[in-house]
A and B are shown apart, each in its own frame.
Chain A
Amino acid sequence: MEPLLEVNNLSVDYITMTGSVRAVDNVSFTINPEEILGLAGESGCGKSTIAYSLMRLHRPPALISEGEIKLGNTDVLKLSTEELRKFRWEEMSMVFQSAMNCLNPVVRLDKQFFEIFKYHGITTNRDEAFERSAELMKIVDIAPERLRDYPHQFSGGMRQRAIIAMALALNPKLLILDEPTTALDTVVQREILQKIYELKEKFKFSILFITHDLSLMMEFCDTVAVMYAGKIIEMAPSEQILYKPRHPYTYGLKNSFPSLKGDVQYMEGIPGSPVSLSMLPRGCRFQDRCFNVTGECRRYEPQGGADKHNFVCCHNQLKEGKVTE
């Protein structure tokens, strides 16, 4: 199967006073059509940076210094400004982290929908645009009359749903969800994710789902990629990640989440704190926090292998997801 999205050797640097810091280091992965890929990791590991880079929405001082991003046949990094402008939202769209702040507070919702249709050449007729917007709103179960309201008149959950409707307005092939439910309560979380899943089945788009909530990810995603300090250290189908993690970090993450039901378990955290990107050690980045670390780890950085859809970067992978004595 031809992958929908192909990311090859992507590196993103942040320019600082004294030089640059590499926030995303040589990352490669693929997403298949109609697949839900989850991107997990601690805060600051680079997941959002990757998400923004896919549509080249990263802000200065972030720069994509190397790599290739291909959606179908389109090389995203080589698009001109105008081509990029059209590409955005038509082929790929994004639901941002805080729905609170994504909508222009002084413009009515119908106008914000109208802009999408106008600038992508769909229609410049206000009534037609309103009809289309109303349909979209119905998909996410919001009454079309609400289109005449301002963003602050919506509740948090409604705003999030409206933004999802907006993101699907042009039927993109890939929908990026950046922590879409962090600010919402669990009940609303579930409803929204349910709705997104239904929509995905209906309209057949792929999803890149970013979160730090592993348990949520396991349920919702087909494939999971785990990031640490700017690199993807393991990528596999979610079942495999859950039951047979290969990387010690994945193992640690999995065990940091208590389950809602069942007996009280013994919790293991991951000792230490995230490594600083400006002071990376030689060899594997995880070495100071790893329970499986050996001399080799401190000398050579582990590579992932050729399969960009299933790989792990570790010299001493776990067997059958268990820690060997």
Chain B
Amino acid sequence: MKYFLQRFGFYLIAFFAAITINFFLPRMMPGDPVQSYIATLYSGGGNISADTVHAIEKLFGFVDQPLWKSYLNYIGSMFQGDWGVSLKYYPRPVLSVIMDYLPWTLFLVGTSVVISYIITTFLGIFAAWNRGGLFDSIVTITGQIVANIPAIVTALLLYMIFASQLKIFPSGYAYDSLLFPEYTWEFARSVLYHAVLPATAVILTSLGNIMVMRANMINQLGEDYIVMGWGKGVPDRKVMFSYGARNALLPLVTTFAMSMGYIFGGSIVVEMIFNYPGLGLLMFQSLAARDYPLIQGLLLLITVLVLSMNLLADILVYFLDPRLRKQGK
């Protein structure tokens, strides 16, 4: 129990840090975001009155209040669910706009993460088991090189080859534009079909995990209980998984959760290139439109998602590793 409180406390602090950064960011940036926004509005042919300027200032939080008061207000409204009003989709509240796009990102990132985790874990286990062999060399090196290629290039290459040239997979959107979202097999199939390329792109950028799993496995394989497992007459496969992998996975759960931030970053770019209607695309559009409240809201939401995944990972580790429960006894 103490363990959970500790972890939750940490994430709460991190969340506050994120809110604080969010609060201070527009105030810290050189130049005046209000002015540059007005310039954008103006060049777009909008009418700027003194009221508009005031409204914008208020939206940004530049009001005549002592700083600490603004800060407290900000925190208060965050927790109440008032994340401001979008400038691009005025007057829709930021949270509502985000909620429209959130499910698709959850779907894309969720499935990619699960598949990636399974693939990289198995590859890492086998590479470590055959350490120094041909399989190990090939998998480790290619995996790392592919993982180091930035998400843009991976996504672009996939797009170029499979969508543009070979036309095997669709080039955009989450589902066939002729269909309506409904619970039919046809719709589900279309969703899956459209998710293949984006998901592949995300998975490819996360292959760095292979090295991590492999390193963990190699550490485990040096332990005595592996040899004892063999000695007892336990079959090879079972030793590899029950003894080796089972223990190697523990630190991996936490590491993978930490890489979620990186994965989200990658998914932003991927969604952009494939026109996938998720948070990434929304982020891109709001960045282009300088829709600051929406941008900040997105940053906060992505942070919350990453933090929750980390918390989930910590909870998972608690159930997987009996040594952590020692604190209770």
Direct contact of A and B (CB under 8 A): yes
Residues of A near any B CB (own CB < 8 A): 52, 55, 57, 59, 81, 85-90, 93-94, 96-98, 101-107, 115-116, 119-120, 150, 152-153, 166
- Is B321 on the interface with A (CB-CB < 8 A)? yes
Flag if A57 contacts B231 (CB, 8 Å): yes
Flag if B243 contacts A86 (CB, 8 Å): no
B53 to chain A, nearest CB (A): 62
- Is B230 on the interface with A (CB-CB < 8 A)? yes
B132 to chain A, nearest CB (A): 8
Which residues of chain A are within 8 angstroms of B329 by Cβ–Cβ distance? 153
Which residues of chain B are within 8 angstroms of A52 by Cβ–Cβ distance? 227
Q: Given the interface contacts A105-B247, A107-B242, does A150 sit within 8 Å of B224 by beta carbon?
A: no
Which residues of chain A are within 8 angstroms of B242 by Cβ–Cβ distance? 104, 107
Q: Given the interface contacts A150-B322, A150-B323, A152-B322, does A102 sit within 8 Å of B224 by beta carbon?
A: yes
Flag if B233 contacts A116 (CB, 8 Å): yes
Q: Given the interface contacts A96-B224, A98-B224, does A106 sit within 8 Å of B320 by beta carbon?
A: yes
Can you pick out 7 interface pairs between chain A and chain B where the beta carbons lie within 8 Å of each other?
A: A81-B236, A103-B228, A104-B247, A106-B250, A115-B232, A150-B323, A152-B322
User: What separation, in Å, do the CA atoms of A101 and B224 have in the docked complex?
Assistant: 5
User: What separation, in Å, do the CA atoms of A120 and B229 have in the docked complex?
Assistant: 13
User: What separation, in Å, do the CA atoms of A106 and B326 have in the docked complex?
Assistant: 12
Flag if B224 contacts A104 (CB, 8 Å): no
Which residues of chain A are within 8 angstroms of B7 by Cβ–Cβ distance? none
Neighbour of A115 across the interface among B224, B227, B234, B323, CB < 8 A: B234
A84 to chain B, nearest CB (A): 9
Q: Given the interface contacts A115-B232, A116-B233, A152-B326, does A105 sit within 8 Å of B227 by beta carbon?
A: no
User: What separation, in Å, do the CA atoms of A86 and B231 have in the docked complex?
Assistant: 10
Flag if A105 contacts B233 (CB, 8 Å): no
- Is B246 on the interface with A (CB-CB < 8 A)? yes
Which residues of chain B are within 8 angstroms of A85 by Cβ–Cβ distance? 233, 235
Flag if B232 contacts A89 (CB, 8 Å): yes
Which residues of chain B are within 8 angstroms of A98 by Cβ–Cβ distance? 224
User: What separation, in Å, do the CA atoms of A164 and B6 have in the docked complex?
Assistant: 39
A104 to chain B, nearest CB (A): 5
A33 to chain B, nearest CB (A): 22
User: What separation, in Å, do the CA atoms of A59 and B242 have in the docked complex?
Assistant: 19
- Is B135 on the interface with A (CB-CB < 8 A)? no
Flag if B225 contacts A101 (CB, 8 Å): yes
B117 to chain A, nearest CB (A): 19
User: What separation, in Å, do the CA atoms of A85 and B228 have in the docked complex?
Assistant: 12
User: What separation, in Å, do the CA atoms of A89 and B230 have in the docked complex?
Assistant: 9
Looking at B225, B231, B236, B321, the one whose CB has the most chain A CB atoms below 10 A away is B231
Q: Is the interface of B mostly helix, strand, loop or mixed?
A: helix
Q: Given the interface contacts A59-B227, A104-B243, A107-B242, does A89 sit within 8 Å of B233 by beta carbon?
A: yes
User: What separation, in Å, do the CA atoms of A87 and B233 have in the docked complex?
Assistant: 8
User: What separation, in Å, do the CA atoms of A57 and B234 have in the docked complex?
Assistant: 13
Which residues of chain A are within 8 angstroms of B32 by Cβ–Cβ distance? none
Interface residues of B in 270-329 (CB under 8 A from A): 320-323, 326, 329
Which residues of chain A are within 8 angstroms of B225 by Cβ–Cβ distance? 101-105
User: What separation, in Å, do the CA atoms of A29 and B322 have in the docked complex?
Assistant: 44
Flag if A88 contacts B243 (CB, 8 Å): no
Neighbour of A88 across the interface among B224, B231, B322, B323, CB < 8 A: B231
Flag if A89 contacts B231 (CB, 8 Å): yes
Q: Given the interface contacts A105-B323, A106-B320, A106-B322, does A57 sit within 8 Å of B227 by beta carbon?
A: yes
Which residues of chain A are within 8 angstroms of B326 by Cβ–Cβ distance? 152-153
User: What separation, in Å, do the CA atoms of A81 and B233 have in the docked complex?
Assistant: 10
B135 to chain A, nearest CB (A): 15
- Is B223 on the interface with A (CB-CB < 8 A)? yes
Name the residue of chain B whose CB is nearest to the CB of A90: B233
Name the residue of chain B whose CB is nearest to the CB of A107: B242
User: What separation, in Å, do the CA atoms of A59 and B247 have in the docked complex?
Assistant: 20
B74 to chain A, nearest CB (A): 45
B245 to chain A, nearest CB (A): 11
Flag if B246 contacts A106 (CB, 8 Å): yes
Which residues of chain A are within 8 angstroms of B230 by Cβ–Cβ distance? 57, 88
Which residues of chain B are within 8 angstroms of A107 by Cβ–Cβ distance? 242, 246
Q: Given the interface contacts A98-B224, A153-B329, does A106 sit within 8 Å of B321 by beta carbon?
A: yes
Proximity string of chain B (208-242) to chain A, C-beta cutoff 8 Å, 1 when within and 0 when not: 00000000000000011101111111111010001
User: What separation, in Å, do the CA atoms of A307 and B150 have in the docked complex?
Assistant: 70
User: What separation, in Å, do the CA atoms of A133 and B326 have in the docked complex?
Assistant: 24
Contacts beyond the supplied A96-B228, A101-B223, A106-B322: 7 A-B pairs with Cβ under 8 Å:
A85-B235, A93-B231, A101-B225, A103-B228, A104-B242, A116-B232, A152-B322
Name the residue of chain B whose CB is nearest to the CB of A101: B224
Flag if A119 contacts B233 (CB, 8 Å): yes
User: What separation, in Å, do the CA atoms of A315 and B192 have in the docked complex?
Assistant: 81
User: What separation, in Å, do the CA atoms of A152 and B322 have in the docked complex?
Assistant: 9
B125 to chain A, nearest CB (A): 16
User: What separation, in Å, do the CA atoms of A120 and B232 have in the docked complex?
Assistant: 9
Which residues of chain B are within 8 angstroms of A166 by Cβ–Cβ distance? 232
B226 to chain A, nearest CB (A): 9
Which residues of chain A are within 8 angstroms of B229 by Cβ–Cβ distance? 104
Neighbour of A152 across the interface among B232, B238, B320, B323, CB < 8 A: B323
Flag if B231 contacts A97 (CB, 8 Å): no
Which residues of chain A are within 8 angstroms of B233 by Cβ–Cβ distance? 85-90, 116, 119-120
Proximity string of chain B (241-256) to chain A, C-beta cutoff 8 Å, 1 when within and 0 when not: 0110011001000000
Closest 5 CB pairs of A and B: A101-B224, A150-B322, A102-B228, A88-B233, A89-B233
Name the residue of chain A whose CB is nearest to the CB of B250: A106
